[in-house]
Amino acid sequence: MADNPGISFERISHPSPTDADSRAQALTNPGFGTLFSDHMVSIDWDEAHGWHNATLGPRVPLTLDPACAVLHYAQEIFEGLKAYKQEDGGIALFRPEANAARFNSSARRLAMPELPEDVFVESVRQLVNIDREWIPLVEGGSLYLRPFMFASEAFLGVRPAKKYKYLVIASPAGNYFKSGAPAVSIWVSRDYTRAARGGTGAAKCGGNYAASLVPQAEAIQRGHDQAVFLDGAENKWIEELGGMNLFFVFDDGRMVTPPLTGTILPGITRDSLITLAREEGLDVHEERYSLEQWRDDAGSGKLVETFACGTAAVVTPVGKVAGHDGEFVIGSGGPGQLTQKLRQKLVGIQRGTVEDRHGWVTKLR
């Protein structure tokens, strides 16, 4: 990664940044996604200039033409990563280059221009650097970073837009799940799927999340925390949750996670945990696993743990699974041993208390 990427950010000073007392007050209980830092990054793209007009300035509302293409055809992609305060007081990002690569893979699927990976990483660094006081120091706290890009051309024809905006905003975050329960309960969506072969399931585009809202609301309405999606072809194979990948742990040291066949998001947490689990001596397989088998294995005790993982949710144990034809409990219904061990290892690397043997951590200069 170049230290001095070929784009420089114009700094626009903030006329009235949040005062330290109000910020400290806001950071005592950040929750997820409701609180935002003072600044944002913005870069424009058009056919004539490529990426240009890079700024780091105050976080302000956008003015959009009512014909702005994203408002009509949803040509939008995003990423999610976190900045962590480390034990030694420094600040670190976890695998930002992996987010940059996935951003470009999403861009290709949505017919959008790619952003050079070093510009993506630099944009995130710049924002974290200026808003470093917004990292909450509460247990599990971090600064959640949301880089995103949308079609900004005013045009109603259905074709890739000729103008785009890339922005990065930052949101102080605590726990993703409000309940603070030891394990989450998930609802098997029968009437809705998240992705189909040839669709956009492997891209991180806003439309995927819009499609997940009704099944997710159904899960909540039935008293569960999250919906789990099955494959779109056979309605049989477990895919993922609306914003998290899944792992299954067996009593014989095997661990299974659904394969990346194009319909699920290739999670960076997923990839990291595969590596960490193999280091722990687990026999990890990326292979299909059916709902039926899940129920049988949970019943026989062969399946001992299930957990969900992602940047926002970190590693979250799944305690109960419910569907139209009944429910089943996994293990004791609480967090399993391996789930906790992997979580501690991952969080330790992110926080600088466990050795980073894979070069995953980028410290801020």
Other residues' Cβ atoms within 10 Å of the Cβ of residue 71: 16
Binding of ligand PLP at residue 265 (CB under 6 A)?
A: yes
- Residue whose C-alpha is closest to residue 316's, from 187, 182, 179: 182
Q: Which is nearer to ligand COI, 282 or 346 (CB)?
A: 346
∠ Cα 200 195 284 (to 5°)? 95
For residue 24 the two structure tokens come to 């400290």
Binding of ligand COI at residue 96 (CB under 6 A)?
A: no
Binding of ligand COI at residue 310 (CB under 6 A)?
A: yes
**Binding residue count for ligand PLP, defined by CB under 6 A:** 12
Binding of ligand COI at residue 311 (CB under 6 A)?
A: yes
**x-marked contacts with ligand COI along 241-280 as a string, rule CB under 6 A:** --x-------------------------------------
For residues 204-233, which are near ligand COI according to CB under 6 A?
A: 209
Phi-psi region for residue 119, left (φ > 0), alpha (ψ -120 to 50) or beta? alpha
Interface pick for ligand PLP out of 54, 77, 80, 103 (rule CB under 6 A): 80
Binding of ligand PLP at residue 258 (CB under 6 A)?
A: no
Region binding ligand PLP by CB under 6 A among candidate stretches 4-12, 218-226, 242-250, 253-261: 242-250
Nearest distance from residue 242's CB to ligand PLP, in Å? Answer: 6
Give me the helices (H) in the chain, please: 20-26, 70-73, 96-109, 117-130, 206-221, 268-279, 291-300, 337-351
Nearest distance from residue 281's CB to ligand COI, in Å? Answer: 28
On whether the CB atoms of residues 322 and 185 are closer than 8 A, the answer is yes
Binding of ligand PLP at residue 267 (CB under 6 A)?
A: yes
Nearest distance from residue 274's CB to ligand PLP, in Å? Answer: 11
Binding of ligand PLP at residue 245 (CB under 6 A)?
A: yes
Binding of ligand COI at residue 80 (CB under 6 A)?
A: yes
**DSSP per-residue letters across 116-180:** -HHHHHHHHHHHHHHTGGGS--STT-EEEEEEEEEE--B--SSS--SEEEEEEEEEEE--S-TT-
On whether the CB atoms of residues 77 and 110 are closer than 8 A, the answer is yes
For residues 288-317, which are near ligand PLP according to CB under 6 A?
A: 310-311
Q: Which is nearer to ligand COI, 172 or 243 (CB)?
A: 243
Binding of ligand COI at residue 147 (CB under 6 A)?
A: no
Q: Which is nearer to ligand PLP, 68 or 258 (CB)?
A: 258
Rounded CA separation 330/237 (Å): 18
Other residues' Cβ atoms within 10 Å of the Cβ of residue 183: 25
On whether the CB atoms of residues 162 and 152 are closer than 8 A, the answer is no
